[in-house]
């Protein structure tokens, strides 16, 4: 952060300070010790109005991720820095970490000249400032005993979400996720305020764009192109990003969902219930749950709905109107500057416990393959029904998880598909 006149600036914007607020050093002291700060005369500040100002500024700074936490040793030397990765992150309260150990999803990687500790379970990164910290973390493969649990480093790791219960059995939802699957899923979706997904400006600035056409190296054979009805429909498919003002007719949406997600038959094989649906899926497991965020569909109120393919029904998620609007707005902004907010958004959420119960070491790969098949089918079905559709390259799972109350271990969105009547 930088202080210039009455403004504090940093990544993501600036905050204007109240008139007469102390200099930067004293301001930081005031924010850190509200009610115990000193004014410019060195007197203790406990005025309720000034405390309220400090608390307000503290929350605004947190929302911009300007506040970091530093772990010091006895000589006031930095051991580690904890940096929030989204504006919603807050560390937990100090608690007893006896019996806990490093989360199996936590990992250390090099980032420039630093080593950082990361985990998909917490929106925080820990930059290691000392080799001593790295050596201590190395011993966290075993549960902490009572003496270790009192060490400030281990208490901090618990506060910031890097520990897990030691020898307790995992819930099936969490146990279903392999390490590589959890890392890939969390790092390829939005949810962090850092630009980890999107335009790869680093490569674009350093290297020329790879060409689309490869130079033939062997014998060339001419093929006769097909021009049947299905091929013409596929050739005519285009992503749609602008929409009519008219609502999507509910019968049209009903037909769209039935052609893709209706359950034709269920059966048990290998101890697991399998499903026959119009589109294929690995092992006929169909772990992808179909949701729709509704903004402008005739006969439906704005909100998030879950589609049930067994009865061909929609189940409204309670109190989800604002969340649906947020999801639709996110979809519109993700499609580009010229795109409009779509009337509806199809959301496919993976239930990893179902697919991981059958397949080991490839569950997340299979769910992504299934999602790709579903996307292709949605494009073709939308074209056939004279609907417009567009796959969303990025998506933020946080609104979905807030309104459903589901952890990403249980259900997490992997696909978003905008839907509406094309202009």
Give the model's confidence band at 416: pLDDT under 50 very low, under 70 low, under 90 confident, else very high: very high
Model confidence pLDDT, tens digit, residues 365-388: 999 999 999 999 999 999 989 999
Model confidence pLDDT, tens digit, residues 30-44: 666 555 455 555 555
Domain boundary among 46, 63, 80: 63
The pTM of this model reads 0.79
CA dist., res. 102 & res. 304, Å (int): 36
Residue 406 belongs to a domain: yes
How open is the CA angle 258-259-263, to the nearest 5 degrees? Answer: 60
Residue 220 belongs to a domain: no
Looking at the structure, do residues 76 and 35 belong to the same domain, yes or no?
A: no
Task: Give the three-class secondary structure for 235.
Answer: helix
Mean pLDDT of the chain: 86
Looking at the structure, do residues 99 and 239 belong to the same domain, yes or no?
A: no
Residue 173 belongs to a domain: no
Residue 175 belongs to a domain: no
Domain boundary among 168, 186, 205: 168
Model confidence pLDDT, tens digit, residues 103-156: 999 999 998 888 999 999 999 999 998 888 888 888 788 899 988 899 999 999
Model confidence pLDDT, tens digit, residues 244-296: 999 999 999 999 999 999 999 999 999 999 999 999 999 999 999 999 999 99
Average the pLDDT over 14-21 and give the result: 62
Residue 215 belongs to a domain: no
Looking at the structure, do residues 45 and 108 belong to the same domain, yes or no?
A: no
Domain boundary among 133, 152, 168: 168
Owner of token pair 């150990």: 101
Residue 358 belongs to a domain: yes
CA distances from 177 to 102, 221, 222, 342, 395 (A): 16, 46, 47, 32, 20
Structural domain tally of the chain?
3
> Does 90 have pLDDT greater than 80?
yes
Residue 351 belongs to a domain: yes
Q: What own/partner pairs with CB < 8 Å and gap ≥ 24 does 127-134 have?
A: 127/80, 127/81, 127/83, 128/79, 128/80, 129/77, 129/78, 129/79, 129/80, 129/81, 130/73, 130/77, 130/78, 130/79, 130/80, 132/73, 132/79, 133/71, 133/79, 133/80, 134/108
Structure tokens at 187: 């790092």
Looking at the structure, do residues 34 and 113 belong to the same domain, yes or no?
A: no
Cβ neighbours, 10 Å, residue 66: 18
Residue 156 belongs to a domain: yes
> Does 190 have pLDDT greater than 60?
yes
Looking at the structure, do residues 82 and 36 belong to the same domain, yes or no?
A: no
Percent of the chain whose pLDDT exceeds 90: 55
């Amino acid at each position: 952060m930088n202080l210039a006149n009455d403004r504090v600036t940093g990544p993501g914007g600036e905050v204007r300070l109240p008139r007469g607020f102390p200099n930067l050093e004293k301001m930081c002291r005031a924010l850190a010790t509200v009610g115990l700060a000193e004014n410019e005369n060195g007197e203790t500040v406990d005025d309720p109005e000034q405390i309220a100002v400090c608390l307000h500024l503290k929350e605004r700074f947190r929302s911009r991720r300007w506040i970091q936490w530093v772990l010091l040793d006895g000589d006031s030397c930095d051991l580690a820095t904890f940096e929030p990765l989204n504006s919603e992150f807050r560390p937990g309260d100090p608690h007893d970490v006896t019996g806990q150990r490093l989360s199996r999803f936590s990992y250390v990687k090099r980032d420039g000249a630093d080593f950082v500790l990361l985990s998909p379970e917490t929106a925080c990164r820990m930059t290691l400032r000392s080799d001593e910290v790295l050596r201590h973390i190395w011993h966290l493969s075993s549960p902490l005993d009572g003496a270790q649990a009192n060490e400030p480093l281990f208490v901090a790791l618990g506060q910031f979400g890097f520990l897990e219960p030691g020898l307790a059995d995992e819930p099936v939802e969490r146990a279903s996720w392999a390490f590589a699957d959890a890392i890939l899923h969390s790092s390829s979706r939005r949810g962090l305020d850092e630009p980890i997904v999107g335009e790869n400006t680093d490569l674009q600035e350093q290297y020329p764009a790879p060409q689309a056409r490869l130079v033939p190296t062997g014998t060339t054979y001419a093929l006769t192109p097909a021009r049947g009805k299905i091929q013409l429909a596929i050739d005519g498919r285009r992503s749609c990003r602008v929409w009519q003002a008219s609502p999507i007719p509910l019968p049209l949406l009903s037909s769209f969902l039935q052609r893709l997600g209706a359950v034709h038959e269920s059966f048990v094989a290998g101890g697991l219930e399998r499903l026959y649906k119009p589109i294929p899926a690995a092992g006929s497991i169909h772990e992808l749950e179909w949701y729709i965020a509704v903004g402008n569909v005739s006969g439906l109120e704005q909100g998030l709905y879950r589609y049930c393919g067994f009865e061909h029904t929609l189940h409204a998620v309670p109190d989800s109107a604002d969340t649906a609007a947020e999801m639709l707005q996110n979809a519109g902004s993700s499609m580009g500057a010229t795109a409009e907010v779509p009337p509806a958004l199809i959301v496919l959420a993976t239930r990893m416990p179902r697919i991981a119960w059958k397949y080991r070491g490839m569950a997340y790969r299979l769910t992504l393959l299934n999602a790709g098949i579903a996307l292709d089918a949605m494009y073709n079905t939308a074209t056939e029904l004279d609907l417009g559709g567009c796959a969303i390259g990025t998506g933020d799972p946080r609104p979905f998880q807030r309104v459903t109350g589901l952890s990403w271990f249980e259900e997490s969105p992997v696909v978003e598909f905008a839907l509406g009547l094309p202009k």
